[in-house]
Amino acid sequence: MKPFKHLPAFLAVASAAVLCLTWAQQASNLVLPQDKGKDTLDVSAYPPDVQKAYKLFAEKCAKCHTLARPLNTSMTQEEWSRYVKRMMHKPNSGISDKQGKDIYEFLVYDQKNRKDKNPASFFKALSDEELQQLQRAQGK
């Protein structure tokens, strides 16, 4: 009886599984320039309903990337509307229509009252081409 007879096959399967997991993780581990900034926001001066929406935003929008990404990205109102839907449609986003709407309201308020007042401090959203370039540059 050879106890290690199946070891090579087992190792092959195990390393294939690890490779797949790493690959799946890396797809969402892309680093964007805006990920490096502040990842929290003091909303104590915002209206109560916007503060409430911020809590939901902080919970839902930091699941796949840091909260710094949306906090440091500047978009127009239409772009935010499109972008919240794009994020909602990603697999396992866990964001309902109503939650998406509340988060959108927060993002628009924050855009007008903070980002638009100091545009040079924020990143413009990357285009799909720029995202693909980053993916290639980071080997993902």
Q: Does 103 bind ligand HEC (CB under 6 A)?
A: yes
| CA-only gyration radius of the chain, Å | 20
> Which of 43/95 has CB closer to ligand HEC?
95
Q: How many helices (H) and strands (E) does the chain have?
A: 6, 2
**Using CB under 6 A as the criterion, what x/- string covers residues 53-92 for binding ligand HEC?**
-------xx-xxx---xx--x---------xx-xx--x-x
Shortest Å distance, C-beta 22 to ligand HEC: 16
CA 96 vs CA 20, 61, 69, 85, 92: distances in Å: 29, 12, 21, 10, 11
Contact status, residue 81 vs residue 104, Cβ threshold 8 Å: yes
> Which of 3/81 has CB closer to ligand HEC?
81
Q: Does 110 bind ligand HEC (CB under 6 A)?
A: no
Contact status, residue 68 vs residue 35, Cβ threshold 8 Å: yes
Q: Does 93 bind ligand HEC (CB under 6 A)?
A: yes
Q: How far apart are CA 95 and CA 21, in angstroms?
A: 24
Query: Interface residues with ligand HEC (CB under 6 A)?
Result: 28, 32, 60-61, 63-65, 69-70, 73, 83-84, 86-87, 90, 92-93, 95, 103, 125-126, 131
